[in-house]
Amino acid sequence: MKVNNEIAINWDRFDWQAFQKVQSILFNLVEKQGLREIRLDFSRLKQAFPNGLVPLIVLLERYRQSSGVNFEVVLPMEEICRRYVMDSNYAAYLCAGEHYPVTNKANALHRFFDDSSLNELINSQIHQILERATYAQGVLQSFEWMLNEVAGNVLVHSGVEHGWMQVVVHPKTRHMAIVVADGGIGIPTAIREAFPHQVMDEDAIAHALKEGITSRPDFGQGKGLTGTLQIVKINQGGRLSIHSQKGRVEWANDRLDIKGDFPPFPGTFVDIQLNTAVPIEIERALWGDAPAYPFNDALYGMDTAVGVMRMKLVGEAAGFGNRLTGLKIRNKIENLLAAAPNDVLEIDFTGVDLMASSFADEVFGKLALVLGFVGFGSRIRFVNINRFCRGILDDVVQSRIIQSHAKK
Ligand SMILES: Nc1ncnc2c1ncn2[C@@H]1O[C@H](COP(=O)(O)OP(=O)(O)O)[C@@H](O)[C@H]1O
Ligand SMILES: [Mg+2]
């Protein structure tokens, strides 16, 4: 391959700014010079960010499909960065056809094609984020609501057959990033179909963010983007950034910034950042009088009476023996209880014949400490539990309560 077909990435970080530089060079090589063989050399890269690599993946896919360009991508040499690029599925999607594995790991980039693959993906994301950290009241409902709205938009508005999604949780900094992208027609083009006077791309995006604005009144209600912005606004430290075609609209530091963007992004890129330690009153965000959004009714509220959630323990893990699994399940239980503060949680032991004491202590012993005697007794209910598991449970919970009592 000739040297002039090569783009060497010489920056330590690959973020949106870096993406745009590469995009300009690619525009020149592909569209002006007509080149069809291009090498992208990331060997010197130290840090890859979703807001750099996800848009690049969308762009490369575009060039491959519409102009038949072949890309050779050289992965980073630096060990941690290289591993991140592999584990995030970036390697698989950047180097199409080179058979890097696509994983279903938490934090990785995923594709969705239709409503059923989107539902499946959102449910698996919820399972994964429930296990990894705890969240302030309303954060999980907001997360689920926004992800459904923004990713759902790809299916109904983008005009392409798949979208991209990545969710990254940082438990230490109490921060979460949600990225949704597509290589479709873009928000400005969609908006202009119904509002032709919106000639500037950035103004068209800002228009789409207003309540009740939809380009498909037969289909939508124009609540998705506006609600997303409201949620981000009431979450101190929350940010929203939307890039689409030649427009960029960003909410950060208590202000909305509306600007042109060049080169244009061929599709829609939405980046949401939440502070997971700050409670979000989702009903207030979504116009005050909206009914409370039942957090993941499909996963934990199906077939139960109102006010009762049910967790089937067998569905949560492959075994019930160790503290690490126990910690994940306890995180999930704490999140479910916080998400629906007036509900009872039924823990269904069907199919669980045996559980280790360390596991039981990690989940239920420590939960009893967090909730207190009365809280534990009134909010958690055990169903279909056998005598052995009940004995273990009694033992670890009593020990924990006695221990905490002795400390006092
Ligand atoms: N991924 C997308 N691709 C193209 N257009 C989009 C996309 N997301 C949103 N839009 C545009 O923004 C408008 C507002 O979106 P939204 O607030 O979710 O309302 P609704 O989906 O009910 O129309 C849509 O009607 C559409 O014109
Ligand atoms: Mg919508």
For the CA of 190, the closest atom of ligand 1 is 27
Which strand ranges, in their side-by-side order, compose the sheet holding 255-275? 109-112, 163-170, 175-182, 255-275, 239-252
For residue 201, count CB atoms less than 10 angstroms from its CB and return exposed for 0-12, middle for 13-18, buried for 19 or more: buried
Residues with CB under 6 A from ligand 1: 149, 153-154, 157-158, 182, 184-187, 190-191, 208, 213-216, 220-226, 268
> Which residue type is seen at 219?
F
Q: What is the largest CA-CA distance in the chain?
A: 78
CATH T-level fold of 105-293: Heat Shock Protein 90 (3.30.565)
Contact 125, 105 (CB under 8 A): no
CATH number for region 1-103: 3.30.750.24
Residues of the chain with pLDDT > 90: what percent? 65
Lowest mean pLDDT segment, chosen from 2-6, 184-188, 269-273: 2-6
CA–centroid distance, residue 205 to ligand 2 (Å):
13
> Higher confidence at residue 341 or residue 201?
201
CA–centroid distance, residue 382 to ligand 1 (Å):
44
Residue bearing the CA closest to ligand 1, atom 5? 187
Contact 341, 309 (CB under 8 A): no
Rg for the chain (alpha carbons), in Å? 24
Crossing angle, helix 115-132 and helix 323-339, to 10 degrees? 110
pLDDT-derived band at 291 (thresholds 50, 70, 90) equals very low
Pocket test of ligand 1: the residue of 54, 118, 147, 215 to mutate, having most ligand atoms within 8 Å of its CB, is: 215
Contact 247, 104 (CB under 8 A): no
> Which residue type is seen at 276?
T
Ligand nearest to the CA of 214: 1
Architecture of the structural domain at 297-407: 2-Layer Sandwich (3.30)
- Which residue in this structure is represented by tokens 């009365």? 374
As given in the structure block, the two tokens for residue 251 are 């909410």
For the CA of 225, the closest atom of ligand 1 is 17
Mean pLDDT, all residues of the chain: 90
CA–centroid distance, residue 153 to ligand 2 (Å):
5
Ligand nearest to the CA of 218: 1
Q: How many CA atoms are closer than 13 Å to the CA of 176, on its beta-carbon side?
A: 29
Q: What is the pLDDT of residue 141?
A: 82
pLDDT-derived band at 106 (thresholds 50, 70, 90) equals confident
For residue 351, count CB atoms less than 10 angstroms from its CB and return exposed for 0-12, middle for 13-18, buried for 19 or more: exposed
- Name residues whose C-beta falls within 8 Å of residue 132's C-beta, 6 or more positions apart in sequence: 106, 169, 171, 328, 331
> Higher confidence at residue 259 or residue 356?
259
- Angstrom distance (rounded) from CA 363 to CA 368: 9
CA–centroid distance, residue 393 to ligand 1 (Å):
50
- Angstrom distance (rounded) from CA 367 to CA 365: 5
Same fold, 105-293 and 297-407: no
Residue bearing the CA closest to ligand 1, atom 8? 153
- Identify the DSSP state of 136: -
- Angstrom distance (rounded) from CA 103 to CA 85: 12
Q: Where are the domains of the chain?
A: 1-103, 105-293, 297-407
Ligand nearest to the CA of 148: 2
Over residues 329-367, the pLDDT tens digits come to 999 999 999 888 889 999 999 998 888 887 898 999 999
Over residues 213-253, the pLDDT tens digits come to 999 887 777 888 998 999 999 999 999 999 999 999 999 99
Ligand nearest to the CA of 212: 1
Provide the CA 176 distance to its chain's centre, in angstroms: 8
* Cis amide bond preceding 263, omega within 30: yes
- Name residues whose C-beta falls within 8 Å of residue 39's C-beta, 6 or more positions apart in sequence: 1, 5, 6, 7, 71, 72, 73, 74
* 6-8 and 37-41 beta bridge pairing: parallel
Contact 37, 3 (CB under 8 A): no
pLDDT-derived band at 285 (thresholds 50, 70, 90) equals confident
Q: What is the pLDDT of residue 6?
A: 93
CA–centroid distance, residue 251 to ligand 1 (Å):
18
- Angstrom distance (rounded) from CA 92 to CA 72: 12
CA–centroid distance, residue 214 to ligand 1 (Å):
6
pTM of full prediction above 0.75: yes
- Angstrom distance (rounded) from CA 18 to CA 46: 13
As given in the structure block, the two tokens for residue 77 are 């040499």
User: In this structure, what are the phi and psi dihedrals at residue 165, rounded to the nearest 5 degrees?
Assistant: -145, 135
